[in-house]
Amino acid sequence: MKRQQAGPTVLEVMQALWGLAHAMEAGSKRMHRDLGITGPQRLLLRVIGESPGCAPGAAARRLSLDPGTVSRLAARLEQRRLLRRDVDRADRRRQRLTLTRRGEALASDHRGTVEGAAREALARATPDEVRLARRFIHRLTESLIVPGRGK
């Protein structure tokens, strides 16, 4: 006889996660329409704003993204004159990312962003809820990244 689970089922968790992914994508599209940048582009602007002159690889590690993804995001933001990619004077093979004034303006807090929605949800959550959610998200991420996990 199967034992009944005392918490949400895998299907219920997956439904919630897919709902979150859909809502984040819709929010990112809304940001693109309203602000001219997507959620991932804004996150990159925020990271560069907090670490001016950072290398693309450092930004990729901080965002848990592939360096190629960060390079493509940076290229789009550079085309829109929101950031500059300068050659590192100490090592000409490397680049340094800095925000333009327009990029700084978009990196500042804006309503109507995915980040703003996350901030609102955090304000309504208890510290224990946030801690447990982060732990679960990290475990799920690890299971998706590390081969053999998540079976």
Does residue 102 belong to any structural domain of this protein? yes
Residues 97 and 52 in one domain: yes
Does residue 46 belong to any structural domain of this protein? yes
Does residue 52 belong to any structural domain of this protein? yes
Residue 3: what pLDDT? 55
Residues 129 and 69 in one domain: no
Residue 147: what pLDDT? 61
Name residues of the chain where pLDDT drops below 70.
Answer: 1-5, 147-151
Residues 89 and 115 in one domain: no
Does residue 120 belong to any structural domain of this protein? yes
Residue 6: what pLDDT? 74
Residues 142 and 99 in one domain: no
How far apart, in whole angstroms, are the C-alpha atoms of residue 134 and residue 128?
Answer: 10
How far apart, in whole angstroms, are the C-alpha atoms of residue 40 and residue 47?
Answer: 11
What is the number of domains present in the chain? Answer: 2
Residues 58 and 95 in one domain: yes
Residues 133 and 105 in one domain: no
How far apart, in whole angstroms, are the C-alpha atoms of residue 23 and residue 118?
Answer: 11
Residue 70: what pLDDT? 94
Does residue 21 belong to any structural domain of this protein? no
Residues 76 and 115 in one domain: no
Does residue 11 belong to any structural domain of this protein? no
Residue 51: what pLDDT? 94
Contact assessment for residue 39 and residue 24, using Cβ atoms and an 8 Å cutoff = yes
DSSP letter for each residue of 86-137: EE-SS-TTSEEEEE-HHHHHHHS--TTSHHHHHHHHHHHS-HHHHHHHHHHH
Residues 78 and 128 in one domain: no
Q: Which domain holds residue 80?
A: 32-109
Structure tokens at 149: 């996990």
Burial (Cβ within 10 Å: 0-12, 13-18, ≥19) of residue 64: exposed
The CATH number that applies at residue 41 is 1.10.10.10
